[in-house]
Amino acid sequence: MTTPLPAAPVPAGGPVDTSPIALTPARGSDLDAIWSAVVPETRVRSNDIHLPVSLAYAERLCDAHPEADALLVRVAILLHDVGWGRVDESRIIAEGFTGDWRKAAIRYEHEKQGCEIAREVLPPLGYDDAFIERVAAIIDGHDTRAEAYSLEDALVRDADRLWRFDHVGIALASGWFSMDPATYCDRLRAEIVPELLTQAAIEMALASLARSEALLKTDVLR
């Protein structure tokens, strides 16, 4: 079952690790069969960077929230953006990162395609229909929906944002938005931190952002 979502920011009941994410890669090999099934879809929009880094953050968030269904969170974050692999690539930057990008048609399309891919790849790997529909419910609307439905949904949404606070996320996403790294870091602090739903994610984001800003010398390179 999914876990009801308390008011944000949700306090952590377990440990909160704010160390560099590279120190704690995603654990275990139980999801490797899913990874193998979506390799082509990871070759789009730097999903092969975004998804594993976000999975590592998702596992930290699950440690901070032992009451959450960790398998649901882990599978949903792994698959949430694979739908980008089935939309017109030329439209990703043209429509997906400009104007009111969260409401662009291509955003809805990548969510819909992601749900379809989950329903294709998970059944042969032994996941049951009820679990798959819970995964799809999180993928559906992960960018375009204003609110989270459950704690698991909230942890996926926070993990989806947290990778951007690491220097690798800043390197990729600042380019997508045609911003210099310092301006992008300012935007992360002003716009993305307030969107985070859990106290653990806020602490991880701010610690990572401080490290990234120092590393990238954003105080002078602006």
Report yes or no: 75 and 159 within 8 Å, Cβ to Cβ: no
Q: Please, are residues 211 and 20 in contact by the beta-carbon 8 Å criterion? A: yes
The nearer residue to Fe ion, 81 or 158, going by C-beta atoms, is 81
- For 46, half-sphere exposure in the C-beta direction (CA atoms, 13 angstrom radius) is 16
Q: Which two tokens stand for residue 72?
A: 């649901």
Least distance from C-beta 17 to Fe ion, angstroms? 21
- Rounded least distance, CB 108 to Fe ion, Å: 10
Shortest distance, position 13 Cβ to Fe ion, whole Å: 26
For residues 41 and 160, which CB has a smaller minimum distance to Fe ion in the complex? 160
Q: Which is nearer to Fe ion, 39 or 221 (CB)?
A: 39
Minimum Å gap between C-beta 160 and Fe ion is 4
Which stretches of the chain bind Fe ion, using CB under 5 A?
81, 143, 160
DSSP secondary structure string, 28-82?
Answer: -STTHHHHHHTHHHHTSTTHHHHHHHHHHHHHHHHHH-TTS-HHHHHHHHHHTTG
Residue number, 143 or 152, with CB nearest to Fe ion = 143
